[in-house]
Amino acid sequence: MEVNEKFKELLCSVKEKKPLVHHITNYVTVNDCANIVLAVGGSPVMADDINEVEDMVSIASSLVINIGTLNSRTIEAMVKAGKRANKLGIPVVLDPVGVGATPYRKETALRLIKEIKFAVIRGNLAEIKILCGMNAASKGVDSEETLTDDAKEVAKVCAKNLNTVVAITGVNDYVSDGNKVMVLKNGTKMLTTVTGTGCMTTSLVGTYCGVTKDYLLAAAAGILTMSMSGEKAYEKLTEAEGSGNFRVRLIDEVFKLKGEDFMRRGSINEVC
């Protein structure tokens, strides 16, 4: 079966099964993450109190952990929920937002990786390099690394070292399980004008992880859902419209996404 056909089947599975995606995420983008999961066909829940995270993740299809707005209370909840998910075989996805911005963020991310087995880690090039102990340039939560074909090798090496699927998103996107690398070439610069498109992408990855054990495919499907929908949203903007209209249209396009869009629009290269 061609890879685009597999993406089509994954999207159908999401809409049929409506996976419950448990989030412990940041308060800047929490509403957008919930809406994007609903738009693609999943069911979001945002629960971060340490007294209920184990119970909540026990009924979920996947868990998304996002360190965008850290505090000591939610870190302990992340660890507790992640360990419970691991015990139950529920996939856990990590978004190491701004991991290089402060020592506290880096220490937290490394602790999470040490104590939790992640199905997918999605970040920009700087975030992924920092997690792997490589030198990287970042400013706040943004990468100052130039995304070149070297990112392909970074994705592969880091996936092997971290024993997970690694997804590096940027102008092009690189997804690897340590053996295979998928290079995705959809998207638009307008995605950088809206807060939280990275967080939303991670939520989409978590949604697809809730319906398959092929986490390489799930990560790529989540990224393509965002990048293709971004293209379609941008194409429909008028000259009088800007980033606010783009944000609304983006969610609309995720809602309207069809399996055939992967066949017609998806730009995917597999590299062994």
Bind-site residues for ATP: 122, 169
Residue type, 246: F
Give binding residues as ranges.
46, 122, 169, 196
Please give the Cα distance from 208 to 250 (Å, whole number).
18
Please give the Cα distance from 175 to 66 (Å, whole number).
19
Give binding residues for substrate as ranges.
46, 196
Q: Where are any strands of DSSP class E within the chain?
A: 20-24, 43-46, 62-66, 92-95, 120-123, 138-139, 142-143, 165-168, 173-176, 181-184, 268-271
Among residues 97, 80, 92, the alpha carbon closest in space to that of 117 is found at 92
CA angle 227, 245, 236 (to 5 degrees): 60
Tell how strand 142-143 and strand 268-271 pair up: unpaired
Number of C-beta neighbours around residue 185 at 10 A? 13
